[in-house]
């Protein structure tokens, strides 16, 4: 993650987004099937797990909230058990400002997906459209007008299920005449928003075909890249994001050259709600001063995080920061990146941390690090800087400079991340431990009878201390002695 991206993500929390649109509740029932029902000779699905998630415009609100924005959410629910579950999930996501309006007779829109061992079999829908009375619509419009005055952007999530009426659109047109706010529209039908000239829209490939009137082509990327003027003319939108699933996104503006951003390749578990994650992240990046290219990278990265989850899901700010950290070098050179790693992974993976100088790397080091990695799921290695090694070991050390020592550690499969540390005030890895909060802290067995300066901190974090045996006669000091004094000590072979 570069400096510009860090600055963009830091300002997400300053943005206040108003979300309005169709609420949906997503339910997932997953089980196994290995028998038939005697009464009808149909397969029996034995349910093993059940999960309820926010869908539709609620997933947008959840994504924006999880990415750090301030969110006001206005929608319609029914008066049923599904509405109770919906309200509980909205509170669980921590959305601070909820303006919920309840229709008299319509059920809360609910989509139930039946899965067999993770594979989708059927989807069952309850409710098709909300039909609020005039008095309930008036309450919706009052909340909308009040919230519009305090937001930085309006996000309309219109699945054509009744929440966004002509009265809402007419009211919005009047509000925009008085005060322009960034308008983002994600809709089944973009034509009804044309006179509002949205700032950002996100048609998928199929929807873009309908807007342009063209037929599908094999080369979707090239085709979408030529749509800039047509899409702008037919929608009056300023920025148009044509999403192409695994092929990424084509970003276009009127009379400007379109560009294609390639999505990162990841394992896809569930694409439901991926577009919500993408557009939520794009909007916040756009409001935070990102270029179209920077916003596309951030948005595609966020969507890639979401689709790796098994159900309709959002991407948290910590997950996004972690996903933007380059993984090719293994080196984390600041505590912010390390904290992102910890917040994202420590609840699911057992993080192991150890530290040292690793000056002249030898087989004892390799054996030690392999043992450390075997204690958990992820190994982070702290490495003393050159100045720190000199303070600890004397003016003639290190033999190898930091970049060379890091290069050796990078080549080890057992090492997941490397963090340089040490300064004039403190040569212990306390700052790393505070940011990382490891499950296990590893040192050599020579600390068995020594005081660990980090022990109090480790105990306060609940980290377990493991002391691993060193290989006899294997040390940087002994290797230096052999070279300098022609020492004939035979180094013990690791079995």
Same domain? 98 vs 154: yes
81: CB partners within 8 A, 6+ apart? none
Last residue of a domain, one of 280, 300, 324: 324
Q: Is residue 102 part of a domain?
A: yes
Tens digit of each residue's pLDDT (9 = 90 or more) over 201-226: 999 999 999 999 999 999 999 999 99
Catalytic (active site) residue 276 = yes
Question: What tokens appear for 13 in the block?
Answer: 């929390």
pLDDT number for residue 360: 87
Same domain? 63 vs 208: yes
Last residue of a domain, one of 269, 302, 324: 324
Q: Is residue 494 part of a domain?
A: no
Of 349, 371, 311, the C-alpha closest to 62 is: 311
- CATH number of the domain that residue 234 is part of: 3.40.1190.20
Rama region for 89: left / alpha / beta (φ>0; ψ in -120 to 50; rest): alpha
pLDDT confidence of 470, banded at 50, 70, 90? confident
Sheet of strand 119-126: strand arrangement: 46-56, 23-32, 110-116, 119-126
pLDDT > 70? residue 165: yes
Q: Is residue 170 part of a domain?
A: yes
Average pLDDT, the chain: 91
Count structural domains, the chain.
2
DSSP-derived 3-state class of residue 493:
coil
Element (H, E) at 237: none
Check if the beta carbon of residue 132 is closer than 8 Å to that of residue 161: no
Of 106, 276, 292, 337, which residue is the catalytic one?
276
Tens digit of each residue's pLDDT (9 = 90 or more) over 361-417: 988 899 999 999 999 999 999 999 999 999 999 998 999 999 999 999 999 999 999
Q: Which of 24-33, 143-152, 284-293, 300-309 has the lowest mean pLDDT?
A: 300-309
Last residue of a domain, one of 260, 289, 324: 324
pLDDT > 50? residue 41: yes
Q: Is residue 490 part of a domain?
A: no
Beta carbons within 10 angstroms of residue 484's beta carbon: 8
Q: Which of 150-164, 393-407, 439-453, 462-476 has the lowest mean pLDDT?
A: 462-476
Region 224-233: mean pLDDT is 94
Same domain? 317 vs 362: no
Same domain? 49 vs 114: yes
Same domain? 133 vs 239: yes
Helices 317-324/3-10 angle, 10° precision: 170
pLDDT number for residue 215: 95
Give Dmax over CA atoms of the chain in angstroms. Answer: 95
94 CB-contact burial (10 Å; exposed 0-12 / middle 13-18 / buried 19+) = exposed
Range of the domain at 425: 335-485
Of 310, 199, 307, 294, the C-alpha closest to 253 is: 199
């Amino acid at each position: 993650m570069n400096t510009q991206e860090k600055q963009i993500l830091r300002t997400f929390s300053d943005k206040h987004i108003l979300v309005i649109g169709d609420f949906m509740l997503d339910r997932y029932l997953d089980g196994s099937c290995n028998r038939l029902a005697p009464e009808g000779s149909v397969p029996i699905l034995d349910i093993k797990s059940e999960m309820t998630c926010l869908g539709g415009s609620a997933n947008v609100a959840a994504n924006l909230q999880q990415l750090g924005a301030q969110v006001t959410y206005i929608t319609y629910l029914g008066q049923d058990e599904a509405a109770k579950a919906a309200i509980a999930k909205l509170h669980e996501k921590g959305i601070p400002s909820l303006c919920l309006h309840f229709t008299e007779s319509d059920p809360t829109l609910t989509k139930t997906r039946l899965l067999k061992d993770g594979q989708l079999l059927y989807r069952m829908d309850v409710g098709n459209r909300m039909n609020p009375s005039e008095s309930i619509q008036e309450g919706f419009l009052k909340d909308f007008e009040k919230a519009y005055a305090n937001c930085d952007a309006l996000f309309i999530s219109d699945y054509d299920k009744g929440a966004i009426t002509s009265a809402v659109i007419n009211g919005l047109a009047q509000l925009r005449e008085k005060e322009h706010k960034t308008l983002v529209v994600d809709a089944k039908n973009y034509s009804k928003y044309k006179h509002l000239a949205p700032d950002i829209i996100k048609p998928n490939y199929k929807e873009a075909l309908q807007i342009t009137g063209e037929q599908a082509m094999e080369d979707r990327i090239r085709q979408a890249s030529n749509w800039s003027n047509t899409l702008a003319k037919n929608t009056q939108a300023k920025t148009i994001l044509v999403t192409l699933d695994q092929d990424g996104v084509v970003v276009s503006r009127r009379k400007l050259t379109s560009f294609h951003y390639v999505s990162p390749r990841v394992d896809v578990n569930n694409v439901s709600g991926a577009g919500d994650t993408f557009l939520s992240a794009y909007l916040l990046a756009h409001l935070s001063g990102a270029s179209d290219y920077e916003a596309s990278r951030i948005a595609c990265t966020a969507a890639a995080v979401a689709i790796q989850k098994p159900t309709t899901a959002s991407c948290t700010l910590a997950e996004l920061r972690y996903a933007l950290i380059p993984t090719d070098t293994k080196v984390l050179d600041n505590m912010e990146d390390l904290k992102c790693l910890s917040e994202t992974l420590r609840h699911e993976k057992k993080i192991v941390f150890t530290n040292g100088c690793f000056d002249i790397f030898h087989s004892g080091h390799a054996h030690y690090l392999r043992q450390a990695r075997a204690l958990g799921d992820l190994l982070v290695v702290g490495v003393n800087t050159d100045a720190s090694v000199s303070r600890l070991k004397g003016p003639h050390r290190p033999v190898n400079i930091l970049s060379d020592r890091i290069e050796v550690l990078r080549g080890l499969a057992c090492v997941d991340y490397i963090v340089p540390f040490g300064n004039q005030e403190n040569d212990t890895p306390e700052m790393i431990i505070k940011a990382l909060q490891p499950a296990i802290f590893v040192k050599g067995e020579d600390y068995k009878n020594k005081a660990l300066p980090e022990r109090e901190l480790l105990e306060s974090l609940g980290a377990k201390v493991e002391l691993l045996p060193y290989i006899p006669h294997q040390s940087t000091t002994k290797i230096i002695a052999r070279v300098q004094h022609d020492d004939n000590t035979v180094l013990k072979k690791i079995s």
